[in-house]
Every structure is written in structure tokens, then in C-alpha cells.
Amino acid sequence: MKSGDPKNIAVYPGSFDPVTSGHIDIIQRAKPFFYSLHILVAENPSKSTLFSIDERVEMIKSATSAEKNIIVSSFSGLVVDYARKVNAKAIVRGLRAVSDFDYEFQMATMNRRLAPDIETIFFTTRGKFFYISSSMIKSIAQNGGDISSFVPESIEQKIINKFK
């Protein structure tokens, strides 16, 4: 299936608390393979987040405003259910380090069991982003450090303001 085919849809799920330059890199690299890419902000009740679901959706919209055919939304439930709802053929996941692979492989295997017609596609993070995580960004910002090279410029101040 070609990226120009409107049926070629993928979902990129995550908590994005906050969205990082690494997340944006995965979005930009995955986008050419699909007609549209749904960025799915996960509502995970077992996870404590700094930003509300609406704030996270808004930050991603702000950070991806120049991208075409990007749809940002939130969803509570199974990613495969959302993927089916939008007729996605793939779930995009980013891998930073070997430690990510075990969890991501288990998740991909379970998703394949639940939805055999939806593929999981992994993108490895570029070297300049592999050490960046949302939790590290929050820690740096909380302690007054410079996060400008780790997050999109459009959301940097929103993160800093959370800790004032």
C-alpha cells in the first residue's frame, strides 16, 4: 500500500507527558509511510501525569501544526480498538534502548493476538534522542535546568510554567 492511499492509516500511541523532540522525530520519520498518522494520547488511570489529557493533546497539536495529515486525539481503552475505529493498518512505536524492546515486543505480540490484521512497526530513535525521556524532561524542568534542546520550542514554556 502506498502512502498516498487514504486507507493507509497508522496510529502512534503514547502518554506524551510531555511530548519530546524524540517523539516529534518519530512522527516526522513515520509520516511519509502513511497517508495519515493518528497521534493517540493515552489515558492511563494507573499512570500519574503532570499534564491533563487535554493539555497533552494541545501540546502535540502545537508541536505538529506544520505537519499534514496528522490527527491528534485521546482515547481510553485498548489501542487496537482505536486503530480498528479509524481503520488503521499499523501501530507505530519508538524504541530508544534495548530496555524498551522487551516491553514493546510483549505489547506488539499481545496487539497481534488481539488484532492480527494490524501490524506494529518500530522506529528506532536517532542517536541524538535516545537518552531523552518525558520523565527526565520533567525532572530537569522541575530543578530549573534548560530543556530547550529536548522539547519542541512551542511547548517549552508550558513545561517550565508547570513547575513555577
Phi and psi (nearest 5°) for 57? -60, -45
Q: Catalytic one among 21, 36, 38, 134? A: 134
> Is 47 considered catalytic here?
yes
Q: Catalytic one among 23, 31, 38, 93? A: 23
Distance CA 162, CA 164 (A): 6
Q: Catalytic one among 56, 89, 93, 96? A: 96
Close Cβ partners of 49 (under 8 Å, ≥ 6 residues apart)? 15, 17, 56
Omega cis (within 30) before 18:
yes
> Is 38 considered catalytic here?
no
Distance CA 108, CA 17 (A): 22
> Is 96 considered catalytic here?
yes
Q: Catalytic one among 2, 47, 68, 164? A: 47
As annotated, the active-site residues are 23, 47, 96, 134
